[in-house]
């Protein structure tokens, strides 16, 4: 049921233009500078004040409640389109022109740098130093990313930052497996017969526009969505007009022989726990239940202050999900005799549709719940006075819009874990080469994970 989106002539003209994606990248780069500027100098040591300030400071509001959630929503539905216009890609590619152009080593290529980078941001950046609540720390975090993209461009070849370093590379790559969109060649035969192969020509890797693929992809061999950032450079170069953007059934990539690297499995461990925390912490009862064990451990260890967040995060984002994965993978391996990594891949892929769906839900909840802050964010861009007024009760938010939308969101919240599980079940039942018991265990893992959300959403709704 693939539909060629390039039948829409203006869409094709847009992607084929020499200025795509350069002009959108320049625009996002300018936005990036303004967002950093709006966060610098706005800080607090009072963590309760920071909980309000995060929504009243214009830059912080945009970055964490709109920019970041929109990236997630787009990745799940339409693939890595954020990467297409990301200013870091522009910066690292420009640096690559004058840099050393070294080949990345084995460790970089393993994908573990991306997983560890994301894990560090989550555990230390967000859950210890609250970069999502204190605007100045958010700005420092963004400048650090910017600095690393420059450094990577100066040292390594092509867009090594995007392919092997970017902390959200795995996240967007894995979610793009779920998407309705894919970038593929129209005809394999045309590529085989193509003499020039401009799309991968070495001499064009460092062109400002009409660059050959710097994600190390040969378009004819793209089997799934993970690595392609939809930059359309290969389309601009292809003399046969052999590339296209297609609408497809979601999860199409799951029906190919999809293999995950150990680093990607590690990444799914972290993000599966993170999404559970994000959704369950929307309701007080669920949050208290989820945190009961981590709080007991921090009390036993006598840990206080900001480091309680670190311990909580280690338990919730590493230990719990790792145990979940190991238990179900061990069961699968025991009955099948397959390699343990293959069992882990099957279980990790089984939870991915639910995980992506629930992350999308969290993104929707966040963007809608923050609508009332917009009334004040442009008048007081730093957000200090607005936060003070909200805390001392002289200012009240108008919650009319979120309250109107909330019943629809509740419906979506109840449906999404069911849809996620349904999609997983569809893929699992389609694996005819696997024995019934292997499929049953994989299905049980998906059911357990989606059931956790379903039960917690019903509890949250009822209480």
Q: How many CB atoms lie within 10 A of CB 91?
A: 21
Q: How far is CA 431 from CA 348, 422, 426, in A?
A: 15, 15, 9
Among 122, 139, 231, 361, binds ligand SF4 (CB under 6 A): 231
For residue 314, the surrounding DSSP H or E stretch is helix 307-314
Pairing label, strands 181-185, 243-247: antiparallel
Task: Tell me the DSSP string of 31-52.
Answer: HHHHHHHHHTT---S-HHHHHH
Q: Is the Cβ–Cβ distance between 129 and 145 less than 8 Å? A: no
246 has which bridge partners? 4, 182
Tokens, residue 214: 């710097």
Residue 121 C-alpha from the chain's centroid:
13
Shortest Å distance, C-beta 194 to ligand SF4 = 3
Tokens, residue 396: 């009240």
By CB under 6 A, which span of 18-26, 59-67, 213-221, 363-371 interacts with ligand SF4? 213-221
Residue 183 or 449: which CB sits closer to ligand SF4? 183
Residue 233 or 329: which CB sits closer to ligand SF4? 233
Among 40, 78, 108, 217, binds ligand SF4 (CB under 6 A): 217
Residue 198 or 338: which CB sits closer to ligand SF4? 198
Residue nearest to ligand SF4 (CB): 194
Among 86, 199, 346, 446, binds ligand SF4 (CB under 6 A): 199
Q: What gap in Å lies between CA 294 and CA 55, rounded to an integer?
A: 27
Q: Is the Cβ–Cβ distance between 142 and 38 less than 8 Å? A: no
Q: How many CB atoms lie within 10 A of CB 242?
A: 20
User: Judged by CB under 6 A, does residue 234 bind ligand SF4?
Assistant: yes
User: Judged by CB under 6 A, does residue 219 bind ligand SF4?
Assistant: yes
DSSP state of 371: G
Instruction: Please give the span between the terminal C-alpha atoms of the chain, in angstroms, as a whole number.
Output: 43
Among 233, 244, 312, 343, binds ligand SF4 (CB under 6 A): 233
Q: Minimal CA–CA distance to 292: which of 322, 315, 310?
A: 315
By CB under 6 A, which span of 125-133, 189-197, 393-401, 429-437 interacts with ligand SF4? 189-197
User: Judged by CB under 6 A, does residue 86 bind ligand SF4?
Assistant: no
By CB under 6 A, which span of 182-190, 257-265, 391-399, 423-431 interacts with ligand SF4? 182-190
Residue 75 or 122: which CB sits closer to ligand SF4? 75
By CB under 6 A, which span of 48-56, 235-243, 290-298, 446-454 interacts with ligand SF4? 235-243
User: Judged by CB under 6 A, does residue 161 bind ligand SF4?
Assistant: no
Among 230, 245, 271, 280, binds ligand SF4 (CB under 6 A): 230
Task: State the alpha helices, DSSP H only, in 57-168.
Answer: 58-62, 68-78, 81-85, 87-98, 106-110, 112-120, 135-155, 160
Shortest Å distance, C-beta 195 to ligand SF4 = 8
Residue 197 or 246: which CB sits closer to ligand SF4? 197
Site residues for ligand SF4 per CB under 6 A: 183, 185, 190-191, 194, 197-199, 213, 215, 217, 219-220, 228-234, 238, 240, 242-243
């Amino acid at each position: 049921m693939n539909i060629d989106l390039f039948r829409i002539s203006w869409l094709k003209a847009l992607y084929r233009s020499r200025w795509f994606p350069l002009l959108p990248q320049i625009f996002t780069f300018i936005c990036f500078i303004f967002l950093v500027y709006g966060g610098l100098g706005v800080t607090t040591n009072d963590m309760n004040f920071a909980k309000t300030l995060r929504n009243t400071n214009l830059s912080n509001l945009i970055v964490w409640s709109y920019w970041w959630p929109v990236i997630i929503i787009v990745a799940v539905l339409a693939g890595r389109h954020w990467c297409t216009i990301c200013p870091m890609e522009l910066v690292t590619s420009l640096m690559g022109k004058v840099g050393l152009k070294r080949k990345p080593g084995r460790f970089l290529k393993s994908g573990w740098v991306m997983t560890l980078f994301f894990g560090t941001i989550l555990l230390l950046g967000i859950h210890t130093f609250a970069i999502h609540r204190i605007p100045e720390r958010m700005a420092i975090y963004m400048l650090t990313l910017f600095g690393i993209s420059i450094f990577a461009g100066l040292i390594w070849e092509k867009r090594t930052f995007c392919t092997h370093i970017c902390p959200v590379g795995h996240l967007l790559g894995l979610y793009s497996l779920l998407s309705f969109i894919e970038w593929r060649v129209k005809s394999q035969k045309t590529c085989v017969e193509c003499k020039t192969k401009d799309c991968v020509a070495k001499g064009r890797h460092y062109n400002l526009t009409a660059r050959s693929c710097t994600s190390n992809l040969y378009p004819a061999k793209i089997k799934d969505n993970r690595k392609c950032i939809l930059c359309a450079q290969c389309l601009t170069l292809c003399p046969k007009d052999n590339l296209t953007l297609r609408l497809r059934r979601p999860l199409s990539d799951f029906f190919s022989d999809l293999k995950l690297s150990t680093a990607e499995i590690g990444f799914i461990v972290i993000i599966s726990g993170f999404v559970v925390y994000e959704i369950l912490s929307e309701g007080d009862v669920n949050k208290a239940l989820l945190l009961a064990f981590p709080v007991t451990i921090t009390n036993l260890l006598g840990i206080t202050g900001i480091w309680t967040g670190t311990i909580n995060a280690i338990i919730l984002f590493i230990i719990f999900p790792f145990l979940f994965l190991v238990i179900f993978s061990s069961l699968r391996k025991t009955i099948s005799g397959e390699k343990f990594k293959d069992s882990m891949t099957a279980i990790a892929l089984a939870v991915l549709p639910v995980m992506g769906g629930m992350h999308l839900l969290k993104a929707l909840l966040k963007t809608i719940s923050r609508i009332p802050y917009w009334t004040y964010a442009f008048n007081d861009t730093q957000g200090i006075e607005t936060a003070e007024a909200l805390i001392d009760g002289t200012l009240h938010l108008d919650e009319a819009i979120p309250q109107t939308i909330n019943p629809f969101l509740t419906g979506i919240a109840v449906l999404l874990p069911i849809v996620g599980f349904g999609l997983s079940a569809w893929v699992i039942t389609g694996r005819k080469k696997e024995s019934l018991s292997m499929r049953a265990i994989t299905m049980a893992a998906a059911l357990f994970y989606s059931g956790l959300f379903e039960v917690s959403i019903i509890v949250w709704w009822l209480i």
